[in-house]
Chain A
Amino acid sequence: MARSSSFILPIPEGRESPSPDLSPYDESIVHDSFHQLIQEQSQRVEAEALELQEWPPRDKGGGSQSLRGPQEYCSATLQILANMPSRTIGRSRGAIISQYYNQTVRLRRKNSRPLLRDMSRSARPSIRQYDLELDLNPREEEEKRSLLVKELQGLTITQRNHMLRDMPLSLTEKRCLRQDSCIHRGRQRHHQGSQTQLYCCSRLKYHCIIAFRSLWYGLLSGLHALKPWRCHLKQISGQFGSSVLSYFLFLKTLVSFNILLLSLLLPFVVAVQVAFPPTSEFPVSSFTGLELFTGAGRFTHTVMYYGYYSNFTLNQPCSSHQNSDHCPPRAVHLPYNMPLAYLFTIGISFFITCITLVYSMSRSFGKSYQVGSTLGVHAITVFCSWDYRVTQRWASLQHDNIRTQLKELLAEGQLKQHPRSVCGRLRQMTVLLLVWLLSLGSALGCAIAVYSFSEFMHENHEVRTQMISEKLQEASLLALPLIVCIISLVVPYLYNVLASWEQHDSPVLEVYVAICRNLILKMVILGLLCYHWMGRKVRSLEDQCWETFVGQELYRFMMMDFIFTLVDTLFGELVWRLITERLKQDRKPEFDVARNVLELIYGQTLTWLGVLFSPLLPAIQLLKLLFLFYIKKISLMANCQAPRKPWRASHMTTIFITLLCFPSFLGAAIFLSYAIWHVRPSRTCGPFRTLNTIYEAGKVWIRHLEEASPSVTWFTWIHQYLVENTFFIFLVSAVLLAVIYFNIQVVKGQRKVICLLKEQISNEGEDKIFLINKLHSLYEKRATTS
């Protein structure tokens, strides 16, 4: 660009000339920074040379040229800078009007309805892709405005209203525009003849949309007011940060899952059986306090367990062959097939839970992992985290919360900038390997211990039956859950000690590793117990009700887990705090998010495992979770402090939901499928006592349907060829894999395109800086020569 002589520019003389783009307010008052500087500059005309200070060098890009601060440019350059399209669009009315003029023209040309959310982002007004009637010359604002009004008249009323509503202008302006475009409307009535039908439809649609929308927003605001624990959660997040909050949010999610299960089980299975109780052949034992812990005794022959449920069709009309002697008059004769209802309700509730889990998992993945470069988490925290609905009482908590978040982010950024040497990394690797071996070894050891203990209890059960009283016998059933809970309590502390040897770079990784180890321990133990129940107990309790026994075992495990959690929370944290107070140290205990979340997942796994054998187990889990929320919160507020190492919890929710889905729910589903397909139900109790497997109930029903109406053979055909035949499943998996591969390739391609576009934009930015600097040097030369 050495041809500066041909560079003709209308340089404005004098202090300030009114810019062609009038802003909603008088520019000379508003632009204080520029206004003052322009005044100063024009007062010191030629004498002084400007001090050229270097802008602090940036790490990447920019190179040797950069945009200097406003005090280093002369007034004319400042004027031009102030009128750049990228700056005027954010503040000037004329720019907004011309932008919406473009949009309106585009709309009219396409001749289509505007989608409410489909307006393009702020395009620079100077980029006009359409033909030459849309010009490149700067126009007066009045002219632009009249063009806009003309365009608005060409739209239908709904389109016009939408367009006006979406404009970021003041209400007074919008009313003027609307009035102006209405005046000429009358003249165009005769053009509207053919379009009257369209006009009515669009109006109807508009009214429907508005009505639906106001209903929806009314519902949402009502729900928002009803949101449980909203104040508690705000308090927690204000004092302890987002990591501790994620635990409580996860607890809330689990509550909703249990409510989902209960909402299906209660009406279809439990309530019906309660309405039609079976004739009980067993004596009703008295209520002792021990039932609450063991689930046996008084609770055994109640609606809580599998054994209580009938295996025939309830409420059948009196013409049936069974129960003909007592046929009480009933108001409604609606036969209800209990075994089928039991099987299908459990199947459907699991299916719905699966779909909900997968959907919430994919949604949180979608929120946390995005295509393209960095998420921009600093910018998002600064721009989006203030909640404008906050009132005076909670405002200071918000300030604290945001400050903590910002400090956390900065600390994490610092950690990334200091990597280690090779020697240090090698040492770290060996320590890591050692620690992992130790933890896996201890998990295995605990598993073997649990297995041998369960075998021991099983062997001695028959021996001791005659020797000790019934009560003690019942209490001895609690031994196995006790051992498992003690292991679950003690071993994680051991893992914490081991983890303090290794030094990870990021605190987030430490948490993930801790979660992984605890998870392996718990899953191994649970797997072992399932094997023990399905193998040993089924065979040994052939003539008794083994399902009720398994249901009771799971109840006992849940109870023990709850008691130990209470003990750990109330005494563990309280005792620690007293100890630290006594020792005059300033270190309160920290809230261990990983361990607590795993406890929750473990409890939920037990619920899902036991739903088939004890339909009321989700209700117990629900009560347990509700208690746990308040107890944990109280203990947190009283005893704990905010985590010392600040770390971000943005991906935590995704991780928790994934853990809930994959080891936990999948394991429970596998266990359930095995129980339904392969295990023989007991002969003396339950809804499936006459069948070979639980699944046969469905098959029997289909056979009945076939016999009843021969036109339903397609149903059996579907069942035979699609469900039982494995080829179909292979086909579906292959198609699914192909779709996944395709999507991965699309995402890769999008990433490449985003990189290219970003490069292009930064190149344009460099061009802009170059031109501005050239401009400035031109003015300088002119100022010194003239």
Chain B
Amino acid sequence: MGSSTSHLSKELLTEYQELTFLTKQEILLAHKRFSDLLPQESRNVEDSLRVRVSTEQILTLPELKANPFRERICRVFSTAPERDSLSFEDFLDLFSVFSDAATPEIKSHYAFRIFDFDDDGTLNKEDLKQLVNCLTGEGQDTQLSTSEMKQLIENILEESDIDRDGTINLSEFQHVISRSPDFTSSFKIVL
């Protein structure tokens, strides 16, 4: 772990380790995977920390390919103005939130952002509808019928919308998530 050109410097590694939930080995592995997505000429350390990778390339990763929320994940973690590319630090952020050591509060915060398809800060009926369609599958025949969808969304709002305004905000979402013991174990992506 010296300061050779193909590795991250020790100080940087320590800083990343203290600010994220990843271990040093995981950070190095993430750097390697990120560099593999870059074009050949920008695979050295300085460039890899500067250059951004487009969303299409990130989506070729096998860990993300099968995920129905993959576009939302990339959009949420991207800090570019058009939100269509990830830098290395965004990439680290992604895997930090999805790692084993992340707290349930962080995970539920980002889960909320991922499920908020229109980015308005709450989950309304449209968001929930899109969410359920993502979960049930791509094809026409795998989706729920209109009446089932309507019934399901009503049930969800009845159970989670405590202030009865027709939308689920972050506090209500976190309250619902806290009652499920499975959330932290399922909201994980490992490199």
A-side interface residues toward B, CB under 8 Å?
24-26, 29-34, 55, 58-62, 66-67, 82, 86-92, 116-117, 119, 121-122, 124, 161, 164-166, 168, 170-172, 174-175, 178, 213-214, 217, 220-221, 367, 370, 374-380, 382-392, 394-396, 399-400, 402-403, 406-407, 409-410, 413, 758, 761-762, 764-766, 768-769
Contact = CB atoms under 8 A, between A and B. Distances in A.
A762 B162 contact: yes
28 contacts: A29-B81, A30-B119, A33-B118, A33-B120, A86-B121, A87-B121, A119-B103, A165-B21, A166-B105, A214-B23, A220-B100, A376-B159, A376-B160, A379-B155, A379-B156, A380-B177, A382-B156, A384-B182, A386-B69, A388-B189, A400-B142, A403-B135, A403-B142, A403-B144, A406-B144, A407-B148, A762-B162, A764-B163
B20 A380 contact: no
B57 interface: no
Given A87-B121, A171-B92, A161 B79 contact: no
A467 to B, nearest CB: 65
Enumerate the 4 nearest inter-chain pairs by beta-carbon distance, A residue then B residue, closest first: A765-B163, A87-B121, A399-B137, A395-B66
A336 B174 CA distance: 58
B98 interface: yes
Interface of B: 15-16, 18-21, 23, 62-63, 65-69, 77, 79, 81, 83, 87, 89-90, 92-93, 96, 98, 100-101, 103-106, 109-113, 115-116, 118-122, 128, 131-132, 135-137, 142, 144, 148, 151-152, 155-156, 158-160, 162-167, 169-171, 173-177, 179-183, 186-190
A90 B104 CA distance: 15
A761 to B, nearest CB: 5
A25 B179 CA distance: 32
A473 B112 CA distance: 72
B179 A375 contact: yes
Given A87-B121, A166-B103, A168-B110, 4 more contacts: A214-B23, A386-B68, A389-B188, A390-B67
Given A31-B120, A82-B120, A382-B156, A122 B111 contact: no
A216 to B, nearest CB: 9
Contacts of A213: 101
A380 B18 CA distance: 32
A165 B15 CA distance: 11
A122 B132 contact: no
Contact of B148 (A165, A379, A385, A410): A410
A174 B163 CA distance: 33
A406 B132 contact: yes
B83 A25 contact: yes
Contact of B152 (A124, A175, A217, A406): A406
A165 B190 contact: no
Contacts of B164: 58, 61-62, 762, 765-766, 769
Given A380-B179, A383-B115, A86 B170 contact: yes
A172 B89 contact: yes
A388 B119 contact: no
A164 B15 CA distance: 11
Contact of B100 (A217, A379, A383, A406): A217
A174 to B, nearest CB: 5
B116 A67 contact: no
Nearest to B79: A170
B68 A91 contact: no
Contact of A389 (B89, B116, B179, B190): B190
Contact of A378 (B96, B156, B169): B156
B137 A388 contact: no
Contact of A121 (B100, B155, B163, B171): B171
Nearest to B136: A403
Given A121-B174, A375-B179, A406 B136 contact: yes
Q: Which of A82, A403, A409, A768 has the most CB of B within 10 A?
A: A403
Contacts of A175: 15, 19, 89
Nearest to A174: B19
A387 B63 CA distance: 12
Given A121-B174, A171-B89, A374-B159, A67 B131 contact: no
A41 B63 CA distance: 43
B166 A66 contact: yes
A390 B66 contact: yes
Nearest to B151: A410
Contacts of A60: 158
A190 B16 CA distance: 28
Contacts of B163: 761-762, 764-765, 768
A756 to B, nearest CB: 13
B29 to A, nearest CB: 13
Nearest to A88: B121
A119 to B, nearest CB: 6
B24 to A, nearest CB: 9
Q: Which of A117, A122, A221, A392 has the largest number of chain B CB atoms within 10 A? A: A122
A769 B165 contact: yes
A765 B87 CA distance: 41
A93 to B, nearest CB: 11
A86 B142 CA distance: 35
A87 B109 CA distance: 13
Contacts of B128: 382
A443 B139 CA distance: 51
Nearest to B82: A29
